[in-house]
């Protein structure tokens, strides 16, 4: 389901480090060489290259990339070179450090918390403590207004059971509890928080399905119809989408980032870099189903230069 293409024979991390360093030498940087190496290595290979680069050249590859590359291309390559847990921890921290946190930005915390494996989320929390001297959840609780913080803490601290075992009876009971919260317009009711914050993704999908079957509307639709805190409503809809179908969520992220006038490169980069090794093939399929057009072509038509070549490499193109 990943889209990146790792060659059958991969050079050693030392050889890759040398190739990268060679690309930095002389007048100008050989961006194509950087893409050729880093764009075609998986998570553990990139990790070894970063270690090896530090050993051989005595500096962090991220710093070297920062000084040698520029613009959206630089930012995309750096996001890709970070260890994924470190990348997500840094992304969350950037959002939480902002004085004024828009709900659009807080949705990214939902995305980090709900679209990865439970083990990845734990790694993000470990990276967060190491990098920023406080825990992800204390940063949320102390800097995001309630009741948004309550929902975000519940999501960020989850370690969901990750097998596909589902209890149909629990699904029916908890669909009813969610329905009651909707009817009473209590989106921050404890039951809502604990159901979406602790149940497994598979169990929640069954609960959402039971909700639709029992009450006609999708739960997403009913959340939308609730009064009260628009931001909470918006975050909760995001939770439902991310849990129900991370692929649809990321297809939408890509679409929104390139749709209309101008491109939101940071968002586009986030979606491609985050999912290239996870499920970008499925995201591509969902994109086609949802928008009846090719995601790859849409990206090609919207970006250019080394940035485009890098994204296409992550998308598995033979450029």
Q: Does 135 bind its own copies (CB under 8 A)?
A: yes
Asked whether position 168 contacts its own copies by CB under 8 A, the answer is no
CB of 153 to its own copies, least distance (A): 7
x/- letters, 255..294, toward its own copies (CB under 8 A): ----------------------------------------
Dihedral angle, C-alpha 249, 250, 255, 256, nearest 10 °: 70
DSSP string covering 113-155:
HHSS-HHHHHHHHHHHHHHHSS-HHHHHHHHS-TTHHHHHHHH
122 binds its own copies (CB under 8 A): yes
Number of residues that bind its own copies (CB under 8 A): 32
Query: Please, which residue, 154 or 258, has the CB nearer to its own copies?
Result: 154
Among 1, 56, 131, 134, contact with its own copies (rule: CB under 8 A): 134
CA atoms within 13 A on the CB side of 114: 34
Residues 6 or more apart whose CB falls under 8 angstroms from that of 247 comprise 279, 282, 283, 285, 286
Q: Pick the stretch among 95-103, 138-146, 259-267, 289-297 that binds its own copies (CB under 8 A).
A: 138-146
Q: Which of 7, 27, 99, 163 binds its own copies (CB under 8 A)?
A: 163
Q: Is 149 in the site for its own copies (CB under 8 A)?
A: yes
Binding span for its own copies by CB under 8 A among 71-79, 197-205, 228-236, 282-290: 197-205
Choices 38-46, 84-92, 154-162, 179-187; region in contact with its own copies by CB under 8 A:
154-162
**C-alpha dist (Å) from residue 280 to 168, 285, 316:** 30, 9, 10
Task: Rank residues 109 and 299 by Cβ distance to its own copies and give the closer one.
Answer: 109
* 219 is an interface residue for its own copies by CB under 8 A: no
DSSP label of 281: H
Q: Are 294 and 280 in contact (CB under 8 A)?
A: no
CB of 15 to its own copies, least distance (A): 35
Nearest-angstrom CA–CA distance, 17 and 38: 10
**Interface ranges with its own copies (CB under 8 A):** 118, 122, 125-126, 129, 133-138, 141-142, 146, 149-150, 153, 157-163, 165, 170, 190, 194, 197-200
């Amino acid at each position: 389901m990943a889209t990146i293409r790792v060659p059958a024979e991969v050079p050693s991390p030392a050889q890759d480090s040398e190739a990268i360093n060679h690309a930095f030498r002389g007048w100008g940087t050989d961006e194509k060489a950087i893409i050729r190496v880093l764009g075609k290595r998986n998570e553990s290979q990139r990790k070894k290259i970063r270690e090896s680069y530090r050993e051989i050249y005595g500096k962090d590859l991220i710093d070297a990339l920062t000084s040698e590359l520029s613009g959206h291309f630089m930012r995309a390559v750096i996001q890709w070179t970070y260890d994924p847990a470190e990348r997500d921890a840094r992304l969350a921290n950037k959002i939480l450090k902002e004085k004024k946190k828009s709900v659009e930005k807080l949705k990214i915390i939902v995305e980090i918390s709900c679209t990865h494996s439970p083990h990845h989320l734990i790694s993000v929390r470990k990276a967060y403590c190491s990098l920023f001297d406080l825990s992800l959840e204390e940063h949320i609780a102390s800097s995001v207004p309630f009741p948004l913080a309550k929902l975000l803490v519940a999501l960020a601290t989850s370690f969901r059971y990750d097998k596909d075992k589902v209890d149909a009876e629990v699904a029916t009971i908890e669909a009813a509890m969610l329905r009651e919260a909707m009817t009473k317009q209590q989106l921050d009711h404890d039951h809502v928080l604990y159901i979406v914050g602790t149940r497994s993704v598979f169990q929640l999908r069954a609960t959402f399905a039971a909700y639709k079957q029992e009450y006609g509307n999708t739960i997403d639709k009913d959340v939308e119809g609730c009064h009260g805190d628009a931001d909470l409503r918006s975050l909760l809809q995001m939770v439902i989408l991310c849990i129900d179908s991370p692929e649809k969520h990321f297809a939408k992220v890509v679409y929104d980032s390139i749709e209309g006038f101008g491109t939101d490169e940071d968002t586009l980069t986030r979606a491609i870099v985050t999912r290239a090794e996870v499920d970008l093939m499925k995201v591509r399929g969902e994109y086609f189903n949802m928008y009846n057009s090719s995601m790859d072509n849409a990206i090609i038509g919207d970006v250019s230069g080394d940035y485009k070549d890098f994204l296409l490499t992550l998308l598995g193109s033979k450029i």
